[in-house]
A and B are shown apart, each in its own frame.
Chain A
């Protein structure tokens, strides 16, 4: 077996080393990087677009092309994440947390370099893991039933406790909201339309891309407008030295890279969990295990970037496993890859591990080579990318915003995507300013659907027996420990539950507490609507809803009636150095950096930002997106920045041409009909 495996791997390498195939692989890599850099336009759109071009190729070349593209989108993703705080894809949202502060400090080069290097190492590791474990995959995966998948998802969601940082109750409440949102749409059990507001758009639930772009990208761009600066504010700038430093960082933390790659490849292989939360799982893991991480993560710690990026590139190798072995796609890109299997008359399953083993290995090699090429290309052009952080906001903002709109529209290709983007943009901005951590919301949103799905299957199929399966028990215990530990630490820091509750004070009311009231109101409204559903449809929403209300109410109570936690210095003095320094645990999200801007000005400018967004949508509805893009760019640059026409016009024209050719012509995106189009009857 071993000999034949090595033989197949060697044969596959010979096949891939063919210059023509390498060239095709290169094309895939370049396209993958471009799609990765564009926020919201992930490998999905690219792979779908290019699938027909592979009809005429032989299988090895076709997969080299598609995998080259799929594997490198996550190498391109961190670039906008670090430079603008705008995740290039749903899988690199965690990179923003430390990447953006690094860029703000003028260390963009270092952050980018660390991101590429850990992407490459992670990608290579994922491919290697897949290569080595090929023969055991099928029997192993057949052991994983729905109860195990459920337990994996629960383990994943237990990370919210970690990702909630110094605001555990707010974090849990945000996670509760995320779970509630994940249950919008057709219930998989009874077909009940849950909270769809009478629209078709919500039948299949909210799409991930507009939600993530809204939560993470828009608030950053909004604050860029509020502070009216560049991203890297007034710091010296040296991309080159940073690059070397970033690579060095990566090797110094090789053990972290390795662990996060494991997480990426492992979770990537579990169908249903998918790439969009893997970065958070790795980030949470690093936060829990790395020395001193609890004080520095989220403030520009290079290890945060490394953890997130090494995991999200490793996932492609992992995701290939169930795709090849069973035809169950491990990620969205892999679902399209299945189409390529079909076209080339290949059948995922045992044959891919016997007769077609060398083809399977050629896929592994493709992923490995693509990762090296992708990182190399990124290094070559990085000096240019890093300069982006020093450009005025009026030059960057309009183009990035326009692309985000197009990217969000890729969600389900309907108007709803744009409303989703806007609504979650406002929510994200509010959460950021009121210091509600956003990561738990995303994690819960992604995993919530999976958990409900597998929970029903497990209960329906196994009754209560599923609870006793060994792997399930282990995973659930791990989840429990992860969930409880931060709270136990908190309670200890207060010197036990008694004193904590004993420290009641006179009620203190603040405007920011209205956020709790709003959350309570929304959840209560959702619950009241759920009341009339059938048991299957409402069981989980009810449990989650009441849980969320309880948590939010407790947090509100704490804010109003409990004395603020003991200051760090006093706590240390009182508790001695052995006690965990809980009060110092970080706020698990980006801090708003408005410095000394008066609140009224901040709100006025933020309102202005969302006004621009609304204007974009209005114009898009009237004259269409292709026409809106140049008008938006011109209007924004002239009104906000009084930029010179010499700068304005070329940028507007270029962006317009780009959107027209790439998205309208090449990707054939079905834009929504426009008012003017209907009026002119075209």
Chain B
């Protein structure tokens, strides 16, 4: 019986280890026969998840060795456990890719204590799409422009202090003196839309323009909503007359805070691997991401699902990171306050 048990044990270990055996032969590309995991820091069904699943279909053709790509979800706690896992626990051989909310980068840059990753050390592979965010009001709210919002208090719905629906209005209140009364507690973007339509709230933020245009095309067409301000580094071509928040801020410190918080919008659906992943494999993956984002098949598939591909290469993201990495203690303290990080 003892013997049988140890044989069983050996078999079982073999089974569980089988997925990650070392490369068989030298001449074959590393990714041949491998399984690459994209760990998504959101539950199934949302934008990050769907975009990753589209990628998993097209990315293999562009990686030498054509690995199988699977998408795993760890949606808890805003994706923090997913980011921690890819950085600290998962294999560092280039077979595990993180796709988590870019606001987690900001979270670490201002010293969020639950981050086990160092945002400055991540190796960036690229970003598939990004889209400006905005603060908008319902047409009956009486607040049509950002100037109105600086004079009149209106209820603005939000889904909690860690969500962009709270952070952007709070940021505007802090740096340009708007009078948004933020009401937390709505569950998810669509609940906010419903509350907006029923008149329970007068305004909201947190929805990126891309998905807003796809989901509520009639609101834009019938002028049901007013865009007060955009969150992003540049104005969206579709809203040439709506200022971005950064334009309205003159104080250099405030501007730094706005730029830092805007990062989470600008990075969009981003992908990175842990710092220990060998440079040649990072290069292989960076190239594969660039090629996939330029692949007409992928672009067509993404468009069908309502995503407009706006690629940023891994090197682009790397550069943006170095732009925001030098922060004074005061900027960090104020940003933490706006983000409600304790």
Contact = CB atoms under 8 A, between A and B. Distances in A.
A347 interface: yes
A631 B9 contact: yes
Interface string A438-464: 000000000000000110110011000
B76 to A, nearest CB: 4
B16 interface: yes
A626 interface: yes
Given A51-B44, A52-B53, A146 B195 contact: yes
B160 interface: yes
B190 A343 contact: no
A341 B76 CA distance: 23
Interface in A168-209: 186, 188-193, 200-201, 203-204
B24 interface: no
Given A326-B190, A457-B186, A680 B17 contact: yes
A336 B45 contact: yes
B183 A461 contact: yes
A339 B12 contact: no
A401 interface: no
Interface stretch (B214-222, B252-260, B288-296): B214-222
B184 to A, nearest CB: 5
Given A271-B191, A350-B218, A189 B74 contact: no
B153 to A, nearest CB: 12
Nearest to B89: A673
Contacts of A414: 74, 76, 81
A669 B194 CA distance: 34
Interface size range of chain B in the complex = 35 or more
Contact of B15 (A55, A142, A456, A627): A627
A634 B8 CA distance: 10
Contacts of A350: 218
Given A48-B44, A453-B185, A668-B70, A461 B201 contact: yes
B309 interface: no
A611 interface: no
Interface in A189-246: 189-193, 200-201, 203-204
Contacts of A680: 17
B237 interface: no
Given A188-B160, A327-B215, A203 B184 contact: no
Contact of B74 (A48, A456, A664, A670): A670
Interface string B69-87: 0111111111011001100
A345 B304 contact: yes
B183 A186 contact: no
B45 A339 contact: yes
B73 to A, nearest CB: 7
A670 B37 contact: yes
A272 B12 CA distance: 42
A191 B16 contact: no
Given A326-B194, A347-B215, A676-B13, A461 B161 contact: no
Nearest to A336: B45
Interface string B1-22: 1000100110011011101110
B96 to A, nearest CB: 9
Interface string A649-682: 0001000100010001000111001101100101
Interface string B180-193: 01011111101101
A204 B82 CA distance: 14
Interface in B27-61: 37, 39, 43-47, 49-50, 53, 56-57
Given A142-B198, A460-B183, A203 B16 contact: no
Interface string B294-309: 0000000000111000
Contacts of A521: none
B88 to A, nearest CB: 10
A480 interface: no
B91 to A, nearest CB: 7
Contacts of A677: 16-17
A656 B15 contact: yes
A79 B216 CA distance: 42
Contact of B16 (A55, A145, A623): A623
> For B74, B77, B162, which residue has the most chain A Cβ atoms within 10 angstroms?
B77
Contacts of A144: 198
A17 B17 CA distance: 46
A293 interface: no
A624 B183 CA distance: 44
A338 interface: yes
A204 B49 CA distance: 19
Contacts of A200: 76-77, 80-81, 84, 114
B16 A627 contact: yes
Contact of B72 (A51, A337, A668): A668
A584 interface: no
Nearest to B22: A682
A263 to B, nearest CB: 22
Interface string B130-156: 000000000000000000000000010
B323 interface: no
Nearest to B74: A413
A94 to B, nearest CB: 25
Given A454-B185, A461-B200, A328 B305 contact: no
Given A145-B200, A339-B44, A627-B13, A328 B185 contact: no
Interface size range of chain A in the complex = 35 or more
A348 B218 CA distance: 12
Given A190-B161, A460-B183, A339 B77 contact: no
B325 interface: no
A342 B12 contact: no
A201 B46 contact: no
A142 B193 CA distance: 11
Nearest to A462: B200
> For B20, B45, B200, which residue has the most chain A Cβ atoms within 10 angstroms?
B45
Contacts of B194: 141-142, 326, 328
B161 A457 contact: no
A342 B306 CA distance: 7
Nearest to B198: A142
Nearest to A323: B190
A320 to B, nearest CB: 14
A335 interface: yes
Contacts of B16: 623-624, 626-627, 674, 677
B197 interface: yes
Nearest to B56: A52
Contact of B53 (A51, A145, A272, A630): A51
A270 to B, nearest CB: 12
Contacts of B162: 186, 191
A669 B78 CA distance: 18
B132 to A, nearest CB: 19
A189 B184 contact: yes
B89 A190 contact: no
Given A144-B198, A460-B183, 15 more contacts: A51-B53, A52-B56, A145-B195, A339-B45, A342-B47, A342-B305, A349-B215, A412-B76, A413-B76, A414-B76, A414-B81, A457-B186, A461-B200, A623-B9, A670-B85
Interface of B: 1, 5, 8-9, 12-13, 15-17, 19-21, 37, 39, 43-47, 49-50, 53, 56-57, 70-78, 80-81, 84-85, 89-91, 114, 155, 159-162, 181, 183-188, 190-191, 193-195, 197-198, 200-201, 214-218, 304-306, 340-342
19 contacts: A52-B57, A143-B198, A146-B195, A188-B159, A203-B76, A271-B191, A328-B188, A336-B44, A339-B49, A345-B304, A412-B74, A412-B76, A453-B185, A453-B187, A627-B16, A628-B12, A670-B39, A674-B16, A682-B17
Interface of A: 47-48, 51-52, 55, 141-146, 186, 188-193, 200-201, 203-204, 271-272, 326-329, 335-340, 342-343, 345, 347-350, 412-414, 453-454, 456-457, 460-461, 623-624, 626-628, 630-631, 634, 638, 652, 656, 660, 664, 668-670, 673-674, 676-677, 680, 682
Nearest 4 CB-CB pairs, A to B?
Answer: A339-B45, A627-B12, A48-B44, A191-B161
